[in-house]
Structure 1
């Protein structure tokens, strides 16, 4: 036996075993695989673009979380710690184990929660734009905006897929398990993104659209050919589906970061790459990414004032000389003055086309609405995906001709599952797929239909009974000085009765004047749609016998609404009206509408109103009846108009586009007992003007000219007054009824909503999240001598009160003016104005000051 040789072999085997073990351990240390999710500690929401870096490793040994806060990182080297960080949050260091694959979920604490402690214990470093490389970089991005945005291309085309989904969020287990939801458990899902455990989510709405888009810069044109469009539909008996869609699309608008101002939630946010962004934002360079081409700079930004309508987040800017935005992650601070918004985030991704120009490939907007931070809410998300992007390809002019939007699908193929499976650029989530089926199931359940019936009654004021509905309930009871206690009952037919024909009626009785009032109308729709559906096309005949206050003109509310029964000052001037009308209305897809009307009216003065002329002997002749016959035509143009269609009125969803109105009314003498001839020309224009960080202003201009002579004041312009305690936008809130009359006038009305720009910077008060509102109204006109009873004794005298003081006037040398300063967003629903009447204070019972309130819900 060769013992030395045997020991030698054993030693070699042992050495090789130790060496193999060391090499194996080293290999294990070099090839760790880490994965997990990074969330915010307070909101439990995923944090996209958070950085996971290996401590001690060379630059570049790191990764970032995706849109869902998830990450995956391979480590090559014997390292023991990683650091998870995101701007605005405290970084967290994690010790690694030796396991080859490790799942590490991280929760980061927001620095906003520790702001008070930081301010007390550590001095702030003064931020300055001067010699700041981050500001120099953002100015380069601003300088290259026109080059990098879509509108900088001469031609572009792409396929676009949009999806909006919403649902009830943050529902507790106790809420879900209530007895009333016993049959609805299939609707609820566990909400993994909730702040606390055992929370549920109820998917409720989804809408999808696929379109081929063609863009041309000169002459400018964006042509959208809609290839498919579907949404979860509610029963139209209860809900205006088109209106809901328009409203949600307005709340969840498309985001173009290259615009100076980004409109969200009916407000404008200043873009972090707006021309004035360096004056409102703080910018920091927080990372350089060299793992992609071109290399990127991570640019973090924060609002200088946390309460302003500004974003916080990150931009990823290319370092190839184009200074294009490759990615953007936008959010808002907790202190921002937004109503009902619990969370808001925007994620944008760009890619290079064949010409090395960056274009948008995905846009995602998520908003969570709630009354309280921890209460139930509505969570929604809008994603827009783009593919087959091509630029610089000139197409025939025929492609761009015609309307901006063309429907290129049939109703039969609207919900074709094969089409949607092919055209969805990203598949639906599991809870989104269920919405279509769940909504159909819900609407077949009697208990849900009863709930919708009650909800429709509360929101619209109508109760349905098969082919008819009764309402509106807010007019069942009211009172005024002429009629006293007034009861009213009315109703109308529904689509269950007929799609083409609609009837509406009411009857009312005044217990003081002991008179019946009533209304009856019949409408025939030429387009086989509801008479209220866009585009309207109908003819209507009606008769009404009722009271009216001269000079009171209301919008979106009936004159006998109970809340309008409360009035200030003397308000006993009324008219009994008998009105026979025939109206024709035609709307076009471009939101141009034409109205033709013919009416015969008999009016009688009531209450303290008198129609009288002075005779030569000083006595008065009283008129108990006044007859007129009128023919009218009106044109209205509201480009790109958006609205929510209710049971009676359209509620406008204002946008930057103007609204124009032109009308002409001819008084026909000796036609069907018409007693006077005149020609009334009227025009108005409305425009919402957005002022970026300084809010927005609603501006209305209007004017009238009435041609003719010997026209009594009931047929002139009796200017819109208001003697209620509600602030009325289009009336003069400190003007008395029948106070001003003219046959020509011009007026301006400015409502300026500052959105808290001042109050957001005021200590203590900013916690209330009130917002400033200012208004100014002025009207100036006159009355020609032939229509002025002071010069023409054949006309009805102006009104007098019980003290024989004149209470009706025309304008003097100055316009009537009033202004107000107010607060909106009180309890999130109320606007209160202190109104000041500037002149004509010598008129009887002319109020100098007054407080007025109205409900106003903003985001």
Structure 2
């Protein structure tokens, strides 16, 4: 494979304009053992890299160099000649030092925390980090240019000649070579973004105004653009943890770095008239979310001048084989160091083996034209873009020639032409349609402007309907549709009944996001599966996902629901909604009923509930980011809290409604990043019903008789086991992300992740609600002592599977109490 790659690179080298000097190979000690984390630089420069865990390196530069310098603590530095512009498969052996520096005690492997000059420098970086960069100014603004590119890598002759690329061979005209890994790659997508950033450190606010966005083949797809932005979100290298790919990596400049990294003072030199020290760092332990690399730091301001970070090869992260980051800082006014360039490369692959094929994701961010202390009113930072401006996504070429802070290479320019040509190839369009369907869950019927689906809801099963077939569709003219219609039809082969639903919504005002919606559904539902339920007429049907269950699952309800709603978002991420709904509820199974007494003598029983409700609710999601400007938007991030407050008024007599009551509900949900300790998830729910209501309107503590995990439910509770009209529940879960398993030798390579959780519920039932109950369901509430469960889980099994072992903590003597159970879920995460 290496020889094929070398030959391919040789014949294609004339087409590569970026690199002038290339070198790659292995570094050994005298015994023939590879040396990890050795420093490799072009002699006479600061352009360099370090070897990986296997002693392998690759280095590339736009400049011409004829020598390579290799060094590592405890070994003599070695300078070797580079006879050619491209030098691969080098094998370099270092000699052990005969004398050590008298003023510094050096160790190989783990470095001492005492008498280590590198750590002394690190402490000075900590002491001065708040006086460097933008934080020392009251206000700031700058121009920002960002380029994101995706490339198919490890291109070889077998791939080029594959039948899959039949009639698409022209795409290989754009091949190039990575300056980081030395692998051939084919650019397949590029996105450019130009914006102006404003910030106020006094107010603690920042605003980014998008001036232009351009990409190859998908210019106006804001969902794709938002996904890219979230995938490569900005970070500050001075922070203790660098957060990307849903993970928190320990920064080499972290105040906890001494316990996480080994540091070695390797060199010192002038960089653009500033005397700087070079420090190499590498992780103390494998499998943790850490980096290896080096940085140059100024000797007076103790600000970082250059830094590169390469993710530890054994780090517990999925689908990513390689992550490499470079940042460069320039001096302003002889003392202030500001970032000018940020380069991020990730190698996405199914396997981490050296020769496995994958996709490079590369982001280059350039910063320019810094201005400071120009105060703006607070309202300026609170202004929102509420309407889609197509001109932002269709800027002409002369705009980009002016805004680009570095020119595109010949191959990058070719991607625009290549993608336009590729979209005309029918085979590529079929691949694209299939991929879009798997991601969205809908088949796009372009001629009718319809999406057919969701395809994952076509088949279902439950004890009442048996096999259930469902087919749905929605209108879709574009991502910013001001209105949408949606509907479905379903049929159960056991009950031989047809079910259906239809809904519509329209955006009346984009600035306040004033939306009118309404719909009707007639279906079979599991109404005891959640507490704070959605008012979406066509929401998820939990009755149709019970192919594999524990115990009988026949406590289902036939529901007819009509709903009208108006909602608005006058403040960002604060949504207020008013619903008027009418529903009828009755049992869908002969073995279950919702009966209630209609008189004090308990002589008359009614089986159907007719109820009109008025609901006022608000949802606050600070920090939420969305894409799109239509009646529906896509959320592009997940690390934000969700606070829900709802008030329900049941109106007796309106449309023959049966009951008059009031209900208040609250919930708080938030995932938390805990740095190197993993992630913590929390969900708190509380509610109270005032007035007389039957079983169908009670607050049932949500059980889960499914073998699949459903967040917010109790997997060891049966449906309707605990019934309340006043409740408080809590779901707490912590994912250590492999921090424990990663320290166990025989488990380390499996990259498993340990999860612990605890769930609890308290509730009560009023006497009046007990008196009208004629359903046969005993109203048992966990009022004497709260009910609780605890669980231990193993995640990331084969990268996609999670299994939880659930234990019931109390109420073990109840009939049919399930003391232990196992649930599973498919999880696709980094």
Q: CA deviation at 1:340?
A: 1.3
Q: Does 1:246 align with 2:246?
A: no
Q: Is the 8 A contact 1:170 1:194 kept in 2?
A: no
Are residues 1:851 and 2:822 paired?
A: yes
Distance between the aligned counterparts of 1:84 and 1:128, measured in 2? Answer: 23
Kept in 1, the 8 Å contact 2:462–2:544? The answer is: no
Seen in structure 2, the aligned counterparts of structure 1 residues 501 and 688 have a Cα distance that, compared at 3 Å, is: closer
Give the aligned partner of residue 706 of structure 1: 689
1:481 Cα shift?
1.6
Question: Is 2:307 aligned against 1:328?
Answer: yes
2:597 matches 1:611: no
Which residue of structure 1 lines up, in the alignment, with residue 289 of structure 2? 309
Q: CA deviation at 1:650?
A: 7.9
Deviation digits for residues 543-592 of structure 1 (CA, Å, limit 9, x no counterpart): 21111123124999843686532211122111111111122343468222
Deviations 1:804-832 (A, max 9, x none): xx4x4212222121111111111111111
- Partner of residue 663, structure 2: 680
Change (3 A) 1:265 1:535: farther
1:783-817 deviation line (CA, Å, top 9, x unaligned): 23333x1xxx2x124644xxxxx4x4212222121
* 2:318 matches 1:339: yes
Q: Look up the match of 2:785.
A: 814
Q: 1:407 to 1:233 in 2, by over 3 A?
A: farther
Match of 2:805 among 813, 821, 834: 834
2:367 maps to 1:376: no
Correspondence 1:427 to 2:395: no
1:286 and 2:266 matched: yes
Residue in structure 1 matched with residue 11 of structure 2 by the alignment? none
Match of 1:84 in 2: 70
Give the TM-score, by structure 1 length.
0.82
1:579 & 1:809 partners in 2: Cα distance? 28
Preserved CA contact (<8 Å) 1:610 1:622 = no
Alignment-derived partner of residue 6 in structure 1: none
Long gaps (5+) in structure 2 = 1-18, 28-36, 50-57, 94-106
Q: How far apart in 2 are the matches of 1:623 and 1:205?
A: 63
Query: How many pairs align?
Result: 771
The superposition leaves residues 269-323 of structure 1 with CA deviations (integer Å, 9 ceiling, x where unpaired) of: 1111111111111110000113643211001111111211111111111112x21
Q: Deviations over 1:254-281 (max 9, x none)?
A: 2311111110111011111111111111
Shift in Å, 1:734 = 1.3
Q: In the alignment, does 2:525 pair up with 1:548?
A: yes
The 1-side partners of 2:459 and 2:239 are apart by 51
Max Rg structure: 1
Superposed displacement of residue 835, structure 1: 0.8
- 2:27 is aligned with 1:38: no
1:734-773 alignment, distance < 5 Å: 734-773=716-755
Measured at CA, do residues 660 and 355 of structure 1 come closer, stay the same or move farther in structure 2, by a change above 3 Å?
A: farther
CA separation in 2, counterparts of 1:350 and 1:206? 25
C-alpha contact 2:230 2:637 (8 A) present in aligned 1: no
What is the aligned counterpart of 2:672 among 664, 676, 689? 689
Is residue 2:343 matched to residue 1:364? yes
**SS, match of residue 672 in structure 1:** helix
Conservation of the 8 A alpha-carbon contact between 2:613 and 2:650? yes
Q: Check conservation: 1:475, 1:561, Cα contact below 8 A.
A: no
After TM superposition, give the deviation of residue 651 of structure 1 in Å: 7.6
Identify the range of structure 1 (398-407 vs 477-486) with the bigger mean alpha-carbon deviation: 398-407
Aligned match of 1:482 in 464, 481, 506? 464
Partner in structure 1 of residue 417 of structure 2 = 437
- Separation (CA, whole Å) in 1 of partners of 2:758 and 2:74: 42
Q: 1:253 is paired with a residue of what secondary structure? A: coil
Taking the aligned partners of 1:552 and 1:418, their CA distance within structure 2 comes to 57
1:172 maps to which residue? 156
Q: Work out whether 1:417 is the aligned partner of 2:401.
A: no
Matched, 1:623 2:606: yes
Report the equivalent of 1:64. 47
Cα distance, 1:752 vs structure 2: 0.9
SS in structure 1 of the partner of residue 124 of structure 2 = helix
What stretches of structure 1 of length at least 5 have no aligned partner?
A: 1-33, 54-60, 76-80, 112-122, 529-533, 801-805
Does 2:133 correspond to 1:146?
no
Evaluate the alpha carbon distance shift between residue 669 and residue 590 of structure 1 in structure 2; reply closer, same or farther with a 3 A threshold: same
Choose 251-260 or 136-145, whichever is displaced more: 251-260
Residue in structure 1 matching 2:275, options 275, 279, 295: 295
Instruction: Show the counterpart of 2:178.
Output: 193
1:569 aligns with 2:559: no
Displacement of 1:179? 3.4
Aligned to 2:14: none
TM-score normalised over the length of structure 2: 0.85
Cα-Cα RMSD = 3.7
Mean Cα displacement is larger for which, 589-598 or 144-153? 589-598
